[in-house]
Structure 1
Amino acid sequence: MKRALTIAGGIIILAAIFLSEKGYNIVVPVSQNGDILPVLKQKSGDTINVFSQFDFTKDDWVAYIVIPSSDFVDLNSQIPHRTCLKTTDRNLMQKMKREWRFKITQGDVATVESVFYLLKNGKTVFRSGIVLDAHNQVLQNSVYGEMMPVDKNAMINTCREFRNVYWPVVVF
């Protein structure tokens, strides 16, 4: 029995490593919500900067993009086909703060499966669905609904700089 469990454990570990090398991770977002800043009242057609109230020069910041394999089919070719992408680069986050401006449509993209997480000191301060398709980029969350980027290249240009995560299991 002990030998069977050892063999099964070894197979599971090898499978996890193999899948991780192929771009698949198991992602477990368990972080608590941190000090999420108050939402400014907006209406359809308004242009907003969702990161304007964040100071990326202080504290410990990390951003993740979690992409299910079902989104790989239409994923923009500049974005790595990985389940989990990550950045801790403060300059990249400052670039997001400057360039990610969105027009609120208050629409709804029914099939948003990929998720963008922003963590400050290990706690989630921003979470949104994200679409990074070849012809369509969108952020969508329960506060603003669908948000279309003002600059259609800004999201792709930033997200392509996120780094691949190679750990088989990613917990944040």
Structure 2
Amino acid sequence: MNNNKFKIIIVLLLLSLAIYLFYNPIIYRTNLDCSYTFIKDSYIKGDTLKLIDMYDSEEGSWKIVIVINKGDRKNINKEIPQGKVFETTDTDLIKGIMKNWKFIYTGGDFATIENQLLMYCDNILVFDSGIVLDNSLEGLQNNNFGWIEAVPCGIMSKYIQKFDRVYKPIIIL
């Protein structure tokens, strides 16, 4: 009888762990280096930037991944579904992002941002940035360009809500 109780407890613990990891996956990043071509000195405060100016979405196989930190979830735009990791390989969606996401170069920096935007071309990390997706503020923060603010606010959430949620307990990026 004790042996059966022990087995039930083990099964329940493993099931609880699996459910927890389903909602809070472990993320392992294998490639931390990006191949940026962004030159900070080529922009002045107030300039408008587009991702398409930096990358050609017509070339290669693209994937965009968004990682949302659990602590930041309360401030995230409500249009973005619940979840921690979202991704898309949809060519039309990626082309729309490249064309329609516009940013104002501020020349400044934003406080610590824990959410991430990762862009891959042919499985090579080409862009890595912090991302803010709040109701009243959206933009990107990166060591290379500092804070760039999305215009209009809400454009990033409009596209990210179309991403697919990743349902894996362990995600290797």
> Structure 2-normalised TM-score?
0.85
Structure with more helix by fraction: 2
Residue 54 of structure 1: CA displacement? 2.1
1:144 and 2:145 aligned:
yes
1:10 Cα offset (Å):
6.4
- Runs (5+) with no aligned partner, structure 1: 1-5
1:52-103 Cα distance to aligned partner (Å, 9 max, x none): 2422233221110011100111111111221111001111110011111100
Task: Give the counterpart letter for 2:60 in structure 1.
Answer: D
How many residue pairs get aligned? The number is 166
Q: Tell me the distance in 1 between the aligned counterparts of 2:138 and 2:36.
A: 24
State the structure with more CA Rg: 2
Contact 2:135 2:154 (C-alpha < 8 Å) held by counterparts: no
Task: State the partner residue of 1:37.
Answer: 37
CA distance in structure 2 between the partners assigned to 1:99 and 1:56 by the alignment = 13
Identity %: 27
C-alpha separation in 1, matches of 2:34 and 2:143:
17
Are 2:20 and 1:19 equivalent residues in the alignment?
Answer: yes
CA–CA distance in structure 2, aligned partners of residues 13 and 52 of structure 1: 48
Give the C-alpha shift of residue 123 in structure 1: 1.2
Q: Residue type matched to 1:25 in 2?
A: P
Q: Which runs of 5+ in 2 are unaligned?
A: 1-6
TM-score with structure 1 setting the length: 0.85
1:168 alignment counterpart: 169
